[in-house]
A and B are shown apart, each in its own frame.
Chain A
């Protein structure tokens, strides 16, 4: 469950311009939600608040039933581990192989090497990168990097998955492939929020949508 109550965000640190204003919405547990809007509408900021990269300047954000602002700092990593993120620019670690990038969330959780190896291999197969396990991210194509980022985001089976333009740099075939992976994850019970400026994707997979413009919520549902 994700709840925004009167949320506003201004950069930098509450002294600059308002990037988001007056956001109120509730995303139920296990839901799939499109976050729509043109570039600069505030989609990435909303996702940043959801995966705890940002803190609201005003209002209250609840993620997976917890208010991060009220959690002791020591408990925030535990909450973050339940959230998977597909960054718009992938943010893969260049010095690690594809396998090690995907393994990272499991290593952070302290999963044993034997179990981790089996899980990562299966995940790489799932996203069609089993043959590229030892490749460095720089050696992968844009589509492969996007799928690798998705694999890293879902390897620990997060309760919440936020994806920022996960099909942004892909052709139609690759985009459909990524979308089917997200739908599969949703089917398995994960709450999924996908930000996109594409109008075609929501038509292919109809689901509730939050439409943003100028940092304000235009429509919910």
Chain B
């Protein structure tokens, strides 16, 4: 016979609580999978909105149109090129302007048009210097492509905020799901747990068994949810390329790091929720 009173060590053995049977259903992994799918969409939405906003902002920040009377064109061009932060300044060809106006005005060869000078600015470009230079050119008008972009940026920020709120709600629902599953497991194994407790199993060992089982189920569910989400996200990223103002590979555009964290995060939620719930229940025992 073995000696009693050995040092306290974790409960060993092959599933003495019978949790593989008590917590064997597909419902929890399926629900966690659905949560992971939503979370992946929210993460991708937040990341995509952020990336689009960044690109729009960069594009808008770098482009300015200065409209000048034809007589001032050469002097204005020289003056603007000399400004610090102006990487490029060029006159928009009259043919291009007329082509742009043709759908609205028709062919009007005699119509006088202002000269459009298109500027591409670097990050060093000073707003004040640019305005000062434009003001010094008689009849010049400065036009930034900013207003529409500012609106779009606000929308993008809103989408990001909404995505984070959604992630919070998903995490809360996942916690509730695990808590319900844990209670079901406790109800199914109440007698077994009580016996193990009376035989001297530590609360931490019993709760740890539940936590490990639920972490596994949650991680599996999240992996499945992610597997379903990835093709959808890929297609969405491909579809977003035209509005992203650039053309990187769609796969590179996906937020891989946060998406990769979904299964461990789900496992963490499962582990911690089960650990706390079972621990609280065990503390009621003498």
Which residues of A are interface residues toward B (Cβ below 8 A)?
Answer: 51-55, 73-74, 77-83, 85, 91, 93, 95-96, 100, 103-111, 113, 115-116, 119, 122-123, 154-159
Cβ contacts A to B, 24 pairs, < 8 Å: A51-B198, A52-B286, A53-B198, A53-B286, A74-B202, A77-B8, A77-B200, A77-B201, A80-B200, A81-B5, A82-B4, A83-B200, A96-B16, A100-B16, A104-B16, A105-B200, A107-B13, A107-B16, A109-B9, A110-B10, A111-B6, A155-B2, A156-B4, A159-B5
Type the 1/0 row for B5-37, where 1 means its CB is closer than 8 Å to any CB of A: 111111111101010010000000000000000
- With an 8 A cutoff between CB atoms, is B3 at the interface? yes
Which of B184-206 touch A at CB < 8 Å? Answer: 191-192, 195-203, 205
- With an 8 A cutoff between CB atoms, is B252 at the interface? no
Type the 1/0 row for B118-145, where 1 means its CB is closer than 8 Å to any CB of A: 0000000000000000000000000000
Evaluate contact between B11 and A107: CB separation under 8 angstroms.
yes
Evaluate contact between B21 and A95: CB separation under 8 angstroms.
yes
Given A108-B201, A110-B6: A119 in contact with B196 (beta carbons within 8 A): no
Interchain nearest-CB distance for B222 vs A (Å): 28
Given A52-B286, A91-B191, A96-B16: A115 in contact with B2 (beta carbons within 8 A): yes
Which residues of B are interface residues toward A (Cβ below 8 A)?
Answer: 1-14, 16, 18, 21, 191-192, 195-203, 205, 283, 286
Closest to B11 in A: A108
Interchain nearest-CB distance for B22 vs A (Å): 9
Evaluate contact between A96 and B6: CB separation under 8 angstroms.
no
Given A95-B21, A104-B199: A109 in contact with B16 (beta carbons within 8 A): no
Evaluate contact between B200 and A108: CB separation under 8 angstroms.
yes
Evaluate contact between A80 and B198: CB separation under 8 angstroms.
yes
Given A96-B18, A107-B12, A110-B12: A52 in contact with B198 (beta carbons within 8 A): yes
Kindly state the separation between the CA atoms of A81 and B197 in the bound complex, as whole angstroms: 10
Interchain nearest-CB distance for B38 vs A (Å): 35
Chain B residues in 8 Å Cβ range of A100: 13-14, 16
Given A96-B16, A96-B18, A154-B1: A105 in contact with B199 (beta carbons within 8 A): yes
Kindly state the separation between the CA atoms of A78 and B6 in the bound complex, as whole angstroms: 8
A96-B16, A159-B5 are known; give 4 further A-B pairs, CB within 8 A: A93-B16, A103-B13, A105-B200, A108-B196
Interchain nearest-CB distance for B282 vs A (Å): 10
Evaluate contact between B13 and A78: CB separation under 8 angstroms.
no
Chain A residues in 8 Å Cβ range of B191: 91
Chain B residues in 8 Å Cβ range of A115: 2
Evaluate contact between A93 and B195: CB separation under 8 angstroms.
yes
Interchain nearest-CB distance for A158 vs B (Å): 6
Closest to B205 in A: A108
Evaluate contact between B286 and A109: CB separation under 8 angstroms.
no
Interchain nearest-CB distance for A168 vs B (Å): 19
Chain A residues in 8 Å Cβ range of B5: 78, 81-82, 159
Given A81-B4, A100-B13: A93 in contact with B192 (beta carbons within 8 A): yes
Closest to B2 in A: A119
Evaluate contact between A157 and B202: CB separation under 8 angstroms.
no
Given A77-B8, A93-B192, A100-B16: A109 in contact with B198 (beta carbons within 8 A): no
Kindly state the separation between the CA atoms of A155 and B1 in the bound complex, as whole angstroms: 6
Closest to A55 in B: B286
Kindly state the separation between the CA atoms of A119 and B192 in the bound complex, as whole angstroms: 23
Kindly state the separation between the CA atoms of A103 and B199 in the bound complex, as whole angstroms: 11
Closest to B283 in A: A73
Kindly state the separation between the CA atoms of A78 and B286 in the bound complex, as whole angstroms: 14
Chain A residues in 8 Å Cβ range of B192: 93, 95
Kindly state the separation between the CA atoms of A113 and B191 in the bound complex, as whole angstroms: 25
Chain A residues in 8 Å Cβ range of B8: 77-78, 110
- From A85, A110, A158, B4 is in contact (CB under 8 Å) with A158
Closest to A153 in B: B199
Chain A residues in 8 Å Cβ range of B205: 108
- From B9, B21, B195, B283, A110 is in contact (CB under 8 Å) with B9
Interchain nearest-CB distance for A107 vs B (Å): 4
